[in-house]
Amino acid sequence: MMYDHFENAVKGITDKLNQDPEGINAKKKYVLELSKLGKKLYSEDETIAWCGVTAPFDLLGAMGITSCFVEFVGAMLSSTQTAGGFFEEAEDSGFATDSCAYHRAVMGAVLKNAMPKPDFIIGTSSPCTAGLAVMENFAHQYKKDFFILNVPQNYTQDAIKYLAAQLEDMTLFVSDHTKRPLSKEKLGIALENFNASSTLLKEIYDLAKTKPSPVDNNLLKDFSTVITLMMGTQQGVDICQAFKNELNHRIETGQHTSSKEKTRLMWIQNRIQYPFPINEMLDDLGAKIVVDELNDVTWEPMDPDNPFESIAKRMISIPFSMDTTERIKHIQTLAGEYRIDGAINPCHWGCRQGTGTRGLISKGFKDINVPVLNLEIDCVDSRNLARGQIETRVEAFLEMLS
Amino acid sequence: MNKKIGFTCAYTPVPLIEAAGFSPFRIFPDSKAPDQAGHLLHDNLCPHVKKVLDRALADDLPELDGLIFINSCDSMRRLADAWHEAKPDDPIILVDLPSGTNSLSLDFLSKEYERLAKTLFRWNNEPFSIKKIKDKIDNWNLVAASVKKIEKKMSRDYFPGYASGLQQIINTAATESTDKALAMAQKELQPEEPAKAGLAPVFLFGNLLFDPKVFDLFEEWNVHVTASDFCTTSRFITPVDTTADDNIFRALASSYMEQTPCARTMDTAKPGDIAQKIVQRAKKSNARGVIGFTLKFCDPYLARIPMIRQALQKESIPFLMLEGDCTMGSMGQQQTRIEAFTEMLGV
């Protein structure tokens, strides 16, 4: 069923792109590549690894592995409004209703046999304990080999060396399964692509800082988190290039000034995944999400002569891997660079890692005189959505800002 | 008065605290301090972590010369973050704790424990001494051996008050000193009353059960606790195998990582092994049933409950799962369910 869904998506988007071969269509190209990834995951003739969010997808790709973080599937099920039965399956099996719904959705999918069977599992201790627990559940259910990348929180030389050594071990673990050693040449190409994508990402985010911003409320939704799945490939570079072109085109043609931008907002952590017209509502009220917290390049270029240490530094540099003080410093820097008027923090129900910092983040914004709206909401499970309440709070917040 | 070091996680090696000349003070979530932690963190967070922070915010703690936090789970990470905000002048160290138990992780943790030890000696202006650390570990191992003996006796027969007595010893090691706990343990080895029959032998597991009165309540509700596995019960008194490695920190790391782990620690070679370990411990302690007790919002445990339930079902071992919030009140609400469970065990 899922294979057919992705195949149809690939076909439909390809047809539309063919009708407009000169168009930039960044978002369509992006969704096309994600659909192709989905198709590969469900094709049953690829070597599949289910992973944690911060896994090195460029390195895995260089080793011929089709890999993806499981929360991507949770988000997809939610956005297509097909998650309901999977939540129920997981809850009936004893997974707590107050746990993270990204994880509950995928566990339900595993139990209902709706997930592609992996060849092995790569868990990561960052961003969250719950994610790693789900990875263990995957390994247990599928009876597949399990590898953990422990991402230390302290950015020290010992921590970098430790993670680099684990990454090297991971390549041996993967080789044991594929019977193919890591090709330095292929890794070199992947890192080159990663660096090219990173350079373009920086340029995209710099363009987004323009006032008025050329982004819209949907364009860069969860972009950095998802694009890492393909940054080590030429397709990833092409996607980033398309987004850069799209933003430049909007600026050149004055589209960015035509949209209302009374209020510039930052969105904290992940967006709401199920259909909920918050973007349209913000549009109507003249508010624009100009930056998502995670849309940033926090790492130095990858060094092909020292790949494991480079990747280790990158993994630790992600604000979620570090302590909240560092995360807040990062948020405050972004707030200044993007000249935001306010921020929305959707406190995703069940997320101890991100939502657990609600009060500290609020204080971090207060210290720089930026108002923040804390929305108590489940970003994936819409069954208990208090829609009216959320809408009223957003309206009141924007009124206060204006 | 002894200088105290506060800590919150069972992966904190108490011998390192004592070797540096401090007394350990495990901060239990035992307080009538008002609920304020949700403002700094979030209300949907582990009640253990919130209550510990409430104690700090309400100044409901003895004077502490420093705090040790362990990066054992998201809630503990957030507690360390919030402590910086609540008590900015407190010296704090956060120890990074790997989730897996391979050789690289043990090397890393041994360096983290060495960093912890050196920091503690520095905080107390004491010269760093491996000998002092080894002496304190020897003492700690004596307590661990005594606790094991008591548990062995508990698994064979029911002695009224024995389980809460054991918990008092463990709490003393956590909040006062190893020496005092050892003295208590040696005394406790002689039960005050003869063995009795008629109660349901049950193995308890979970994350936090520290109040000795809870164990008395269990007995009132017809439960003979044959053994338990909580981060506040015997798991906390982890014996350190000093022969495991010439490097004392590596010996500490392997002992803490490889013996009865918390749900957050995994053996990648055996995913879901926690379920088998609980089955084995229940059987070894001659339990007829198993009660799981976890705090609300504890992801490491809650995510493993389905596999634990499945493993116990496979062995036809009855299982009762309870959730609470650290208070005696929340335990009191469970009375009917626990009594029904013991009745069902048919004792």
Q: Which residue has the tokens 């926090």?
A: A298
Residue of B107, B108, B272 with shortest CB distance to A140: B272
pLDDT digits (tens, 9 = 90+) for A45-56: 999 999 999 999
Q: Domain residues for B252?
A: 1-347
Domains within chain A, CATH numbers bracketed: 39-181 (3.40.50.11890)
B42/A contact by beta carbon, under 8 A = yes
Write down the pLDDT at residue A372: 98
Q: Among the listed ranges A176-180, A278-282, A379-383, B129-133, which one has the minimum average pLDDT value?
A: A278-282
* AA identity, residue A187: L
Per-residue confidence (pLDDT) for residue B330, from 0 to 100:
79
What's the pLDDT tens digit per position in B298-314?
999 999 999 999 999 99
Flag whether residue B77 sits within 8 Å of chain A, measured between CB atoms: yes
- What rounded mean pLDDT belongs to chain A? 95
Nearest 5°: the CA angle B34, B39, B43 is 85
Residue B1 in this model has a pLDDT that exceeds 70: no
CATH code: domain of residue B345: 3.40.50.11900
Contact A147 B299 (CB under 8 A): no
Rounded Cα–Cα distance for residues A194 and A186 (Å) = 12
What pLDDT, on the 0 to 100 scale, is given for residue B189?
65
Residue B122: which H helix or E strand, with range?
Answer: helix B103-123
Work out the end-to-end distance of chain A between its first and last CA atoms, rounded to an integer number of angstroms: 47
Contact of B337 with chain A, judged by CB distance below 8 Å, is answered with: no
Distance to chain A for B223, nearest Cα, Å: 25
Q: Helix or strand or coil: residue A267?
A: strand
In terms of Cα–Cα distance, which of A379, A331, A326 is closest to A355?
A379
> Does the distance separating the beta carbons of A153 and B77 come in below 8 Å?
yes
Give residue B298's pLDDT.
95
Tell me if chain A has a CB within 8 Å of the CB of B264. yes
Task: Tell if the CB–CB gap between A137 and B307 is shorter than 8 Å.
Answer: yes
Which residue type occupies B95? V
- Measure B153 CA to nearest chain A CA, in Å: 34
Check if the beta carbon of residue A345 is closer than 8 Å to that of residue A361.
yes
Count other C-beta atoms under 10 Å from residue A77's C-beta.
Answer: 26
Q: Report yes or no: B336 and B344 within 8 Å, Cβ to Cβ.
A: no
Name residue B224's beta-bridge partners: B201
- Kindly state the tokens that stand for B247: 């490097």
Is there a contact between B114 and B250 (Cβ–Cβ < 8 Å)? Answer: no
Q: Tell me the C-alpha to C-alpha distance, in Å, between residue A108 and each of A88, A133, A177.
A: 7, 14, 27
The three-class DSSP label of residue A357 is helix
Q: Over the range B170-181, which residues count as b (16 or more CB within 10 Å of their CB) and which as e?
A: bbbbbbbbbeeb
H/E stretch holding A7 reads helix A2-19
pLDDT interval class at B186 (50, 70, 90): confident
Which residue in chain B has the smallest CA separation from A151? B98
pLDDT band, residue B192 (cuts 50/70/90): low
Q: Is B233 left (phi over 0), alpha (psi -120 to 50) or beta?
A: beta
With vertex at residue B337, the alpha carbon angle to CA B332 and CA B343, rounded to the nearest 5 degrees, is 125
**CA-nearest residue of chain A to B272?**
A140
CB nearest to A150's CB, from B38, B77, B100: B100
Write down the pLDDT at residue B326. Answer: 79
Residue matched to tokens 């809650």: B302
Single out the residue of A387, A207, A376, A211 nearest to residue A288, CA to CA.
A211
Taking alpha carbons only, the member of B229, B232, B347 closest to residue B290 is B229
Q: Classify strands A120-124 and A66-69 as parallel, antiparallel or unpaired.
A: unpaired
Predicted confidence band at B188 (pLDDT cuts at 50, 70, 90)?
Answer: low
Element (H, E) at A342: strand A342-348
Q: Is B195's pLDDT higher than 80?
A: no
Which of residues 169 through 188 in chain B touch A, CB cutoff 8 A? Answer: none
pLDDT at position B194 is 73
pLDDT greater than 80 at residue A1: no
Write the CB contacts of B57 (distance below 8 Å, at least 6 apart in sequence).
B33, B36, B37, B40, B86
Contact yes or no for A136 and B272 at CB 8 A: yes
Distance of residue B12 Cα from the nearest chain A Cα, in angstroms: 17
Identify the band that residue A257 occupies on the pLDDT scale cut at 50, 70 and 90. Answer: confident
Neighbours of B122 (CB within 10 A): 14
pLDDT at B191: 64
- Measured in whole angstroms, the distance separating CA A138 from the mean position of its chain's CA atoms is 20
Asked which of A177-186, A299-308, A324-333, B149-158 is least confident by mean pLDDT, the reply is: B149-158
Q: What is the pLDDT of residues A64-96, one digit of tens each?
A: 999 999 999 999 999 999 999 999 999 999 999
Does A166 contact B at CB distance below 8 Å? yes
Q: Label residue B105 by pLDDT band (50, 70, 90).
A: very high
Q: Does the beta-carbon distance from B81 to A166 stay under 8 Å?
A: no
CB contact under 8 A, B105 and A150: yes
Inter-chain residue contact A323 with B303, CB threshold 8 Å: no
Give chain B positions within 8 Å (CB) of A355.
Answer: 42, 44
Interface probe with A: pick from B43, B49, B77, most Cβ of A within 10 Å: B77
Contact B94 A153 (CB under 8 A): yes
Question: Binning pLDDT at 50, 70 and 90, where does residue B347 land?
Answer: low
Asked whether the predicted pLDDT for residue B261 surpasses 90, the reply is no
Phi, psi of A252 (to 5 degrees): -60, -35
Torsion sign over Cα A212, A217, A218, A222: positive
Answer whether B306 sits within 8 Å of A95, measured CB to CB: yes
Instruction: From chain A, pick out residues whose CB is under 8 angstroms from the CB of B312.
Output: none
Average pLDDT over residues A347-376: 95
Residue A140 to residue B307, Cβ atoms within 8 A: yes
Q: Are A218 and A279 in contact (CB under 8 A)?
A: yes
Contacts of B263 in chain A (CB under 8 A): 133
- Give the pLDDT confidence score for residue A79 in this predicted structure: 94
A165 with B306: Cβ contact below 8 A: no
Q: How many domains does chain B have?
A: 1
Instruction: Please indicate whether, in this complex, the C-beta atoms of B45 and A129 are within 8 angstroms of each other.
Output: no
Identify the CA nearest to A147 among candidates A242, A79, A50. Answer: A50
pLDDT band at B2, cuts 50/70/90?
A: confident
Share of chain B above pLDDT 90, in %: 86
The angle, 0 to 180 degrees and rounded to 10, between the axes of the packed helices B212-220 and B162-175 is 170
Please state the ipTM of this predicted complex: 0.94
Residue A372, chain B, CB below 8 Å: the answer is: no
Strand order in the sheet with A145-149: A66-69, A48-51, A120-124, A145-149
Which residue from A324, A357, A359 is facing B39, i.e. has the nearest CB? A359
Cβ of B264 and A129 within 8 Å?
yes
- Using DSSP's 3-state secondary structure scheme, residue B1 falls into coil
Residue numbers in A near B301 (CB within 8 A): none
Backbone torsion region of residue A267, taken as left when φ is above 0, otherwise alpha when ψ lies between -120 and 50, otherwise beta: beta
